[in-house]
Amino acid sequence: MEISEEIMGPALVMTLAGRLDSNTAPLLETRLPSRIEGNPATVIDLSQVSYVSSAGLRILLKGAKVAKASGNRLALCGLAPSVKEVFDISGFSAIFTIAPDLDSALG
């Protein structure tokens, strides 16, 4: 998995590409909490993510908890249908702000 970061207005946009699974989740786990705490808004663009495992969901949930504790905003965008289905079945769709695309997430 690759992670790129870009400041867009008041938000940090983290774009993930590849698979978010037990092999790649630690890479996100080391970066996500400090990025959320250090920015008033963080958007995670998942449009290039083809698969999210339970390990990936766990890291995103930790990010949601950090955002809530710090009073900062966390949004996800661009979920592929198969990834969106995982979020829906697991109940994670109710936990996160999920936008269809980056522009909507930033707006």
Other Cβ atoms within 10 Å of 48 Cβ, number = 14
Residue 77 domain boundaries = 2-106
30 is written with which tokens? 């080391």
Q: Which helix (H) or strand (E) holds 22?
A: none
Pair 16, 45: CB distance under 8 Å: yes
Overall residue count recorded for the chain in this entry? 107
- What pLDDT score was predicted for residue 107? 85
**Rounded to the nearest 10 degrees, what angle do helices 81-90 and 54-70 cross at?**
70
The domain tally of the chain equals 1
- What residue ranges of the chain have pLDDT lower than 50? none
22 is written with which tokens? 């037990």
Tell me the CATH number at 38. Answer: 3.30.750.24
- Predicted TM-score (pTM) of this structure: 0.96
